[in-house]
Structure 1
Amino acid sequence: MTETAALIAGRYQLLEPVGKGGMGRVWLAHDEVLHRQVAIKEVVPPAWLTKSERGQLRELTLREARAAARLNHPNVVKIYDVLHSEKWPWIVMEYVPSRSLQKVLEEDGPLPPQIAAEVGLAVLAALQAAHGAGVLHRDVKPHNVLIGDDGRVVLTDFGLATLDTDGAITRPGLIATPQYLAPERARLGLSSVESDLWSLGATLYAAVEGRTPYARPSVVETLTALATQEPDPLLQAGSLKPVIEGLLRRDPKTRMASQEVERLLVRAANGQSTDVEARRRRRLRLILAAVLVAAIAAGSGAAVAAARTGGSGGDVTDPSRLSAAIQAGVAACEQAAPADAHPVPTDRPGPPGTPKLVNGFTWYFRPGSFGVGVPIGWRAWSVGSTACFADPRGGRVLAVDPIRPSTMDPVEGARAEERRLVDSGAWPGYQLVHLKPLSMSLPAAEWEFTFDSGGGKRHAAALVVSHPQADLVVYWATDEADFSPNRSLYDVVRASFRPPPPGSGQRPSVNASGSATS
């Protein structure tokens, strides 16, 4: 009977290998009891290990499970179980459909600084959770950072992790990858919070430069450079340069602390970049998109204006007019921000009873209508009742349209809007990714799609929430290449969204000029 035909522990059906390293391989498997996919790490020790080192490796595997199991964090792969076999234990883990950051760099090339900063924030959050639980990772590198197909970023492979109350395993055969090894670990074998942060800096360096900070032909040359030289100059780091340089300081006592790293990464992720050429390219794409949207809207400008103002005494919530108003609102938010757009206020409290937002976000709250988390530093403006928010560098757009007629069936409402948009040609090259119901306090659906814009492709996700008084639409869009790396930001926006309570009797309010009150 082949390995994949057998059940492991009478429960896990091995399906196919999905990863391989120097100390083992990872299988995609099916849990026959809970009917879910899992990943199972099979330890396959190298033949050259001594009996003593094999014993250490067994202990190392169990430490990995114990260390990771202490952590319950969205940026850390979850450990479900440890299976004991006659030879080696197997670790049952959460399965995250993904590519490693190393694979992304090999296949797609270096990341733009803004995207690398967002990846860095996720890895830093995982390390902060680990360090808070007394766990050192000891092997942070692009190979152990997974970029999920849904944009989630997770840190995995705590195979060299130790609890700070345990003795470190520092046998030469079990050492971390030299290119991502802090200088004090290379010299003395000492592990600390600071050495994990150095490895994060080396990972960020590789993410933007496409090579390691001490790229040398051999391990000996790499270790010699670590001990005697400064990192190679940064050429493509842009706004990430200060944080990478701060993390790669040789003396751990002067190395940048976690809190300062987080602050600088948030700034870089929010687009405060010195990369003038990148901003110019994004602005050009946005201008091209605006020209296309203006051309589409030109034929129905009168109808749009009537829908926004209510026409000659008509009801602004009349469905026949809302159809045009919704299209115009979202389309207008895809255009460049107007001159009177203003930074999102950072001093507004969130809706009563709402939790504190994650770092880098602030509340935008329209009384009687909705509340939503918006990235700090973005520009805000209104188009009729629609609230528009945009990254000042271009590319990323958020819109909230609060006055669609209520359907109480968000999936069908999205399908109707899809048919209308496709038939009208509003989104050229439209392709549906998925349309599915979501579990929320109100009926809700997520509608994800792509479309052509100004010679490029845009990727959008719309949260449709059916309120008894009116449907609300939260629209998020980026350039196609940026959607997956930005998925975690959309997840924050979606989770933060607060419509009026179902029993409030409130509907989104619009003043006499058609602008929503705030």
Structure 2
Amino acid sequence: MAVERMLVAGRYRLGEPVGAGGMGRVWRARDEMLDRDVAVKEFVPPEWMSDEERVRLRDRTLREARSAGRLNHPHVVRIYDVVHADGLPWIVMEYVPSRSLYQVIQDDGPYSPATTARIGLAVLDALTAAHRAGVLHRDVKPHNVLIGHDGRVVLTDFGLATFMDDGSVTGPGLIVGSPQYVSPERARDGTSTPESDLWSLGATLYTAVEGRSPYARENAMATLMALATEEPDPPVRAGMLGPVLTGLLRHEPRERLSAPEVERRLRMIISATPSPVRAGVPSPRRARAVVGSDIDQIMAPARASVAALPPPPAEPLIVARKPKTEPPPRSTLMAAGLALVTVLGIGGIMAGYLVQRDEEKAVPVPVLTSPSPSPLRTVAAGFSPATCDLPAPSGLPVTPQRAAARGVKGWSLLGGWSYFTDGSGFHMPVPDGWTYQRIGTTFCFRDPVGTRVMALSLDRDPAGDPVKACRTEAQRLVRSGALPGYQQITLERKELLNKAADWEYTYVADGAQRHVRTRWLATDGKAYAISWATREFDWTADLPKVNMVLSTFYADRPAGS
């Protein structure tokens, strides 16, 4: 039966097919009610399935579609609708003009390590959001990662291509998932966990940078045999990305790198290379002009010195600098060194870096210095929460502090919040479970399961003008390149407060737009800058918390006043 131009559910006009999965086809279609392009997933059960198996698979399709529909994330294809036609479900999704990562690799060749890290960070962010919502992808592979024509990276097919993980649907010669990208435990007994998705992410990124999967063999059976008995093929093009790949592709799930550790390492790799002209991911051909082999060649001598060392279980790659009287945290040292590589560009030299475990101490390694200030120093010198975008070291303390106050003078903070103080007189409301760290004169409070950050900057000049201070800070950071894509939303004096201003803006970090509000205020002879930063699409939901923080922060009055 010809289905081209078919009208589904009286609303979605099918156009051309744009893809196919194990259980269906994807069509580009037109939503005639809202006059927009959509993608429509057609459920096509194999002929060998019994009626009972088709019913179970259809029900599972609907459950998975509902789970994916709960996700609202820039790196996840959105689910718009589920309709029925001819007794079968059709899934209506966001249409993303794109090619799959698999198609890009086939057409243009593999990506550089730095651009692969960008892709990995986007997919990891999507998986983290899904796992938090109780959704396992189960089929992460290059075919299900879309590279948009605008550079956007999107993970698709959340349970829409393969739904046989619980063994309720079987068939002759059936392989659960794609053998080259399925985790060892999933291939062995069907076990599905977040660690299984991370293994598949590692195999996908391996393919993106190497041009082939880590278990590429002549057929599916040979792949499954190798998966059960052999280590993955060693990467040869991955450069600094290599330890991340091998850490994700460990056979034992409990020995794999955790999602936060993978995120930290990917961010370090990205920060060590020049950023593309625009956010997003270009094709490999265009990407090589920006983050290609020149950077990898700079790192080659340093990589050779540690190639034989196993990747650490918790600590990132470290660039040690000449220690000061009071050494900063190890991740701060690393970030400063990687930022230096970015400043020096391909003409600079990085003498080396040190891979270390938790119990080892950093050994100073000579690093070529530059007369120009590093981005780390530029940001940390002021009061922007961009200071807190730097990778956080492991083992940071978390809130609440011991005997932390939950309120003051008879009223209480929201449940799950407490006051943080260092004894100098301020009292900052912070959610329980957030990490805290001091960088220069700024306290950074980080959400351990997201990208939300609060910052409290001390030692502002109480005699200064708050509007002028914020305007000067904006100009300084924009000139230094610390706030790419900066857009000011508002900068205004708060008339009801003694001396205060609110500065709200957006900028781009790691390919995603971040939204920030900073309140600069002076009270009782001291001045502070309080900031909340989060991803743009989270801003509306976070706004009540932002207002609560700004309204419940207080400082002690000096004795006798």
Same fold per TM (> 0.5)? yes
| 1:62 aligned onto 2:68 | no
**Which residue does the alignment assign to 1:483?**
none
**Which residue does the alignment assign to 1:152?**
152
Shift of 1:70: 2.0
Shift of 1:175: 1.6
CA distance in 1, matches of 2:235, 2:44: 38
Give the structure, 1 or 2, with the largest relative contact order (CA under 8 Å, sep 6 or more): 1
**Which residue does the alignment assign to 2:549?**
none
CA distance in 2, matches of 1:17, 1:488: 35
Secondary structure, in 3 states, of the residue corresponding to 2:200?
A: helix
**Which residue does the alignment assign to 2:37?**
37
Check 1:371–1:178 CA distance in 2 against 1; reply closer, same or farther (3 A cut): farther
Secondary structure, in 3 states, of the residue corresponding to 1:91?
A: strand
Q: Is the 8 A contact 2:38 2:92 kept in 1?
A: yes
**Which residue does the alignment assign to 1:84?**
84
Residue correspondence of structure 1 range 6-17 to structure 2 within 5 A: 6-17=6-17
CA distance in 2, matches of 1:197, 1:386: 36
Query: Which of 361, 364, 376 is equivalent to 1:344?
Result: 376
Q: Aligned letter for 1:387?
A: R
**Which residue does the alignment assign to 1:413?**
none
Q: Is the 8 A contact 2:68 2:158 kept in 1?
A: yes
CA distance in 2, matches of 1:247, 1:335: 29
| 1:367 aligned onto 2:383 | no
Q: Aligned letter for 1:22?
A: G
CA distance in 2, matches of 1:11, 1:157: 22
Shift of 1:335: 12
CA distance in 1, matches of 2:147, 2:472: 32
**Which residue does the alignment assign to 2:262?**
261
Q: Aligned letter for 2:106?
A: E
Shift of 1:342: 2.1
**Which residue does the alignment assign to 1:203?**
204
**Which residue does the alignment assign to 2:239?**
238
| 1:132 aligned onto 2:166 | no
Check 1:342–1:67 CA distance in 2 against 1; reply closer, same or farther (3 A cut): same
| 1:270 aligned onto 2:271 | yes
Secondary structure, in 3 states, of the residue corresponding to 1:82?
A: strand
**Which residue does the alignment assign to 1:458?**
none
Normalising by the residue count of structure 2, what TM-score does the alignment of the two structures yield?
0.54
Residue correspondence of structure 1 range 68-467 to structure 2 within 5 A: 68-159=68-159, 169=168, 171=170, 173=174, 175-271=176-272, 277-279=293-295, 339-345=371-377, 347=380, 348-350=382-384, 367-369=469-471, 387-389=479-481, 441=489
**Which residue does the alignment assign to 1:303?**
none
**Which residue does the alignment assign to 2:546?**
none
Secondary structure, in 3 states, of the residue corresponding to 1:492?
A: strand
CA distance in 2, matches of 1:32, 1:227: 50
CA distance in 2, matches of 1:54, 1:128: 31
CA distance in 1, matches of 2:246, 2:113: 14
Normalising by the residue count of structure 1, what TM-score does the alignment of the two structures yield?
0.59
CA distance in 2, matches of 1:370, 1:9: 57
Shift of 1:109: 0.7
What is the CA deviation profile of residues 461-485 of structure 1, one whole-angstrom value per residue up to 9, with x for unaligned ones?
xxxxxxxxxxxxx9x9xxxxxxxxx
Q: Is the 8 A contact 2:105 2:111 kept in 1?
A: yes
Q: Is the 8 A contact 2:141 2:204 kept in 1?
A: yes
Q: Aligned letter for 1:171?
A: T
Shift of 1:150: 1.7
CA distance in 2, matches of 1:175, 1:218: 15
Q: Is the 8 A contact 2:19 2:27 kept in 1?
A: yes
Q: Aligned letter for 1:88?
A: L
What is the CA deviation profile of residues 92-119 of structure 1, one whole-angstrom value per residue up to 9, with x for unaligned ones?
0111111111111111111111111111
**Which residue does the alignment assign to 2:513?**
492
CA distance in 2, matches of 1:386, 1:128: 31
Q: Is the 8 A contact 1:151 1:488 kept in 2?
A: no
Check 1:490–1:204 CA distance in 2 against 1; reply closer, same or farther (3 A cut): closer
Secondary structure, in 3 states, of the residue corresponding to 1:117?
A: helix
Q: Aligned letter for 1:85?
A: A
Shift of 1:253: 1.6
Shift of 1:74: 1.4
Q: Aligned letter for 1:30?
A: R
What is the CA deviation profile of residues 365-414 of structure 1, one whole-angstrom value per residue up to 9, with x for unaligned ones?
99342767xxxxxxxx98xx971438xxxxxx9587xxxxxxxxxxxxxx
Number of residue pairs the alignment of both structures matches: 354
Shift of 1:125: 0.9
**Which residue does the alignment assign to 1:3?**
3
Q: Is the 8 A contact 2:75 2:155 kept in 1?
A: yes
**Structure 2 unaligned runs (5+)?**
275-290, 300-343, 349-369, 386-443, 458-467, 491-505, 521-561
CA distance in 2, matches of 1:46, 1:82: 21
Q: Is the 8 A contact 2:23 2:160 kept in 1?
A: no
CA distance in 1, matches of 2:169, 2:114: 36
Q: Is the 8 A contact 1:139 1:199 kept in 2?
A: yes
What is the CA deviation profile of residues 282-341 of structure 1, one whole-angstrom value per residue up to 9, with x for unaligned ones?
99xxxxxxxxxxxxxxxxxxxxxxxxxxxxxxxxxxxxxxxxxxxxxxxxx999998323
Secondary structure, in 3 states, of the residue corresponding to 1:369?
A: helix
CA distance in 2, matches of 1:143, 1:176: 12
Check 1:168–1:272 CA distance in 2 against 1; reply closer, same or farther (3 A cut): farther
CA distance in 1, matches of 2:6, 2:273: 53
CA distance in 2, matches of 1:151, 1:171: 38
**Structure 1 unaligned runs (5+)?**
284-332, 373-380, 391-396, 401-437, 443-473, 477-486, 501-518
Check 1:50–1:238 CA distance in 2 against 1; reply closer, same or farther (3 A cut): same
What is the CA deviation profile of residues 43-81 of structure 1, one whole-angstrom value per residue up to 9, with x for unaligned ones?
222333343433333223213311201212111111111
Q: Aligned letter for 1:104?
A: V
Check 1:207–1:191 CA distance in 2 against 1; reply closer, same or farther (3 A cut): same
Secondary structure, in 3 states, of the residue corresponding to 1:191?
A: coil
CA distance in 1, matches of 2:222, 2:45: 27
* Structure 1 runs of 4+ with >6 Å offset: 280-283, 333-338, 354-358, 360-363
Check 1:32–1:175 CA distance in 2 against 1; reply closer, same or farther (3 A cut): same
Q: Aligned letter for 1:492?
A: Q
What is the CA deviation profile of residues 166-219 of structure 1, one whole-angstrom value per residue up to 9, with x for unaligned ones?
956563536200101111111111111111111111111111111111111011
Shift of 1:278: 2.1
